[in-house]
Amino acid sequence: MDQAEQLRNIIKQQNKKQHLARVITVTSGKGGVGKSNVSVNLAIQLSRLNKKVVVLDADFGLANVEVMLGIRPQYNLADLMFKGKSLQDVISPGPENIGFISGGSGLRELTNLNRDQVQSLVRMMYGLDSIADVVIIDTGAGISSSVIDLVLASSEVLLVATPEPTSITDAYALLKTLCRNKDFDAAETKIRMIANRTHGYSEGKELFDKLDTVVEKFLKMNMEYLGYIPYDEKLPKAVMKQQPVSIAYPNAVSSRAMLDLAMVLENGVEGNMQTEQRGLSGLFAKMFHYRKV
């Protein structure tokens, strides 16, 4: 029995008896478009909607999520995998009852895991599935292999873009890279775009339509529009305070927009979700399958 078959058996056995978290991967084609702000504030707003939320920071070398939450974690994902720390050890408590896991260098080191370590990690992730309703993964920016691996393994992806031409071009480049990967399965992946820093609904919808037109024409991919977040001077002020804008300025226009997006996401779950929920453990298992560990 090969590694992939062993992982599939673990998933099947556990899925029969355990709750699986909803995993939402937030990504972008370039840095500086507000991806981490979206991840953190969506987590806050989903928690306010009575969901147990954990944020996994997979943006290596940059502590954006830590800064925004005002948290300095003692341990990270690498400590879970290589230093014997428990899942509870690596989850730092955040504001509004959200949890936070620093990826550290852990995800980069996945390729060095042996078979037993892979199976152990997948089993440990079931612990997170059992305590969280939603896991939000904040990826790095761009189209590095670590970002593409995470997006490939995800069934639900939020693509953040701004009206800047470079943001649109880089978002398309990410989707093009994804589409051309032999492991990408469009039928199992729901990709929804968030238009950030817009000057109203019309600009946000125009941004989506512009990107969607070329994506549909040249990549033959289906993409949906989740909504927009207006430009808001309160947002950078909140970052300076090391607080999510949803906490520092709960009535700011960007805070209200984040709540609207969270409600759309929540209604999607309560309604007819088309994506398979396989939890964080399933996401990691799929990543290892792609890497043929």
d(CA 274, CA 213): 22
Which of the four pLDDT bands, split at 50, 70 and 90, describes residue 82?
confident
Query: Which letter does DSSP use for residue 148 in this model?
Result: H
- Closest listed residue to residue 53, CA positions, set 236, 249, 266, 248: 266
Residue 216 has pLDDT above 70, yes or no: yes
For β-strands 134-139 and 22-28, DSSP reports them as parallel
How far apart CA 133 and CA 150 sit, in angstroms, is 19
The pLDDT, as a whole number, for residue 281 is: 80
pLDDT value at residue 148: 85
pLDDT tens per residue across span 114-135: 667 777 777 777 888 888 999 9
Lookup result for tokens 């125009």? 206
Q: SS3 for 228?
A: strand
Q: What is the pLDDT of residue 116?
A: 73
Tell me: pLDDT of 26 over 80.
Answer: yes
**What number is the average pLDDT over the span 244-265?**
96
- Higher local confidence (pLDDT), 254 or 72: 254
With 0-12 / 13-18 / 19 or more C-beta atoms within 10 angstroms meaning exposed / middle / buried, residue 104 is buried
pTM listed for this prediction: 0.87
Residue 178, φ and ψ in degrees, nearest 5: -65, -45
Residue 273, pLDDT above cutoff 50:
no
Pairing of the two strands 99-102 and 92-93: antiparallel
What is the C-alpha separation between 247 and 96, in angstroms, rounded? Answer: 9
Element (H, E) at 248: helix 245-248
Question: Residue 58 pLDDT more than 90?
Answer: no
User: Which of 28-42, 109-123, 189-203, 209-223 is least confident?
Assistant: 109-123
* Cα–Cα distance, 211 to 258 (Å, whole number): 22
Q: Residue 196 pLDDT > 80, yes or no? A: yes
Task: Give the span between the Cα atoms of 82 and 15, in whole angstroms.
Answer: 26
Interhelix angle 3-15/279-291, rounded to 10 degrees, is 170
213, with CB counted inside 10 A (0-12, 13-18, 19+), is exposed
pLDDT of residue 45: 97
> Do the strands 134-139 and 156-161 form a parallel or antiparallel pair, or are they unpaired?
unpaired
- The residue that leads in pLDDT, 19 or 7, is 19
| pLDDT confidence band for 105 (50 / 70 / 90) | low
